[in-house]
Amino acid sequence: AGSYPRLILQFELRRNVLYFILETYVPSTLLVMLSWVSFWITLDSVPARTCIGVTTVLSMTTLMIGSRSSLSKTNCFIKAIDVYLGICFSFIFGALVEYAVAHYSSSQKCAAKAPQEVRLDGP
């Protein structure tokens, strides 16, 4: 009942999502895929698998640091991009650890077979 004058202020905020997709999400996905390429390399090729693993871990670390510096500074809050990059890092690091476990297991099996073969050739 009556006219009430008021001031309406409306903000429309937009974020350039393409920047985050091209600068963070695509490179991190490609790094995870690159780290999985090491599963196709034989266990005997130690330098190739180690090089791929260490390079992808270091590249992912650089990408994580770069993404933190490009975002706003909020203290003590985990952002969705931090969770995503953390999961990507765990996949990459897991691929490197998988190779270490597989190589150790393979070397233990070879060491266990070696004394048996010597005994068969003996007396």
Exposed, middle or buried by CB within 10 Å (0-12, 13-18, 19+), for 95? buried
The tens digit of pLDDT for each residue in 92-122 reads 999 999 998 988 988 888 888 876 654 555 5
pLDDT in tens, 29-86: 999 999 999 899 988 888 898 999 999 999 999 999 988 887 777 777 788 889 999 9
Report the pLDDT value the prediction gives residue 26, as an integer from 0 to 100: 95
pLDDT at 70: 74
CB-CB neighbours of 50 under 10 Å: 15
Q: Are 53 and 96 in contact (CB under 8 A)?
A: yes
pTM of the model: 0.75
The pLDDT assigned to 112 comes to: 81
pLDDT at 120: 52
Q: For residue 67, what pLDDT is reported?
A: 84
